[in-house]
């Protein structure tokens, strides 16, 4: 039986000029791969930032793995096992790939960091001969691989990936999504935030549709794919 990993109730948040999120409810079971879809400006990145502790909530509650993390500082959220791969990768370009990966484990004090770098390379063999290269000299797809790998280095229970397909060629996106599914099969829960609705729903078990800072629809990925409103708004059919 799966267990409730993340529970969001009535979550509101914004940046001073008013709330971007308004009363968001969301549930996430352990082991799932869930898609969060919506147009630009719908509040997807704000939701991830709020769950990560980067944006202060103005209302509501967030429970993760049985603990209340509402408004918790980012380092406490990471320690709890909730980790975000940000939109735009945000690597340290003047540091090597290996150094960027090690930074993902900055809260860890165990002796298995080296083996986890090898695990990341196992998921992304293209990085095998690039560990000593500067991250800023990699292609966009390789940088996204490093960003996902850096998130994995924290050993998350739930990995939130924000717009991984942004600016990448379709073949690279396809490979990244396949790796996300593999990571999920290996035991890491994933919340995939994507503007490319087909990419997201083809990978996911379930999904949520966010519009104007509110969840307007949820269901299995197949249900959302066949929903007339989703097809018209996001799939152009």
Residue 203's domain is classified under what CATH number? 3.40.50.300
Residue 206 CB: number of other CB atoms within 10 A?
A: 19
Does residue 213 carry a pLDDT above 70? yes
* DSSP string for 78-115: HHHTEEEE-TT----TTSBHHHHHHHTTTT--SS-HHH
Residue 150: closest CA among 96, 195, 196:
96
Does residue 3 carry a pLDDT above 90? no
Length of the chain equals 237
Report pLDDT digits (tens) over 177-207: 999 999 999 999 999 998 788 889 999 999 9
The structural domain count of the chain equals: 1
> What was the pLDDT predicted at 195?
79
> What was the pLDDT predicted at 125?
96
- Range of 87's domain? 4-235
d(Cα 63, Cα 152) in Å, to the nearest integer?
A: 21
Does residue 233 carry a pLDDT above 90? no
pLDDT confidence of 47, banded at 50, 70, 90?
A: very high
Helix (H, G, I), strand (E, B) or coil at 153: coil
């Amino acid at each position: 039986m799966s267990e409730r990993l993340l529970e969001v109730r009535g979550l509101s948040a914004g940046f001073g000029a008013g709330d971007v999120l308004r009363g968001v409810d969301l549930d996430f079971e352990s082991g799932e791969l869930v898609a969060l879809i919506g147009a630009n400006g719908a509040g997807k990145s704000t939701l991830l930032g709020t769950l990560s502790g980067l944006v202060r909530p103005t209302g509501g509650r967030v429970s993760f793995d049985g603990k209340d993390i509402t408004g918790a500082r980012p380092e406490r959220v990471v320690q709890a096992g909730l980790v975000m791969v940000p939109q735009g990768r945000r690597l340290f370009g003047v540091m090597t790939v290996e150094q960027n990966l090690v930074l993902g484990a900055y809260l860890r004090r165990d002796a298995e960091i080296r083996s986890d770098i090898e695990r990341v390379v196992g998921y992304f063999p293209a990085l095998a001969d690039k560990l000593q290269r500067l991250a800023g000299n990699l292609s966009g797809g390789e940088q996204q691989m490093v960003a996902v790998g850096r998130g994995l280095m924290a050993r998350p229970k739930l990995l939130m990936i924000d717009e991984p397909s942004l600016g990448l060629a379709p073949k690279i996106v396809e490979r990244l999504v396949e790796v996300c599914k593999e990571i999920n099969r290996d035991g890491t829960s994933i919340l995939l935030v994507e503007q490319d609705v087909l990419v997201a729903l083809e990978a996911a078990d379930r999904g949520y549709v966010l519009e104007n800072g509110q969840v307007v629809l949820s269901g299995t990925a197949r249900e959302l794919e066949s929903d007339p409103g989703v097809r018209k708004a996001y799939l152009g059919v």
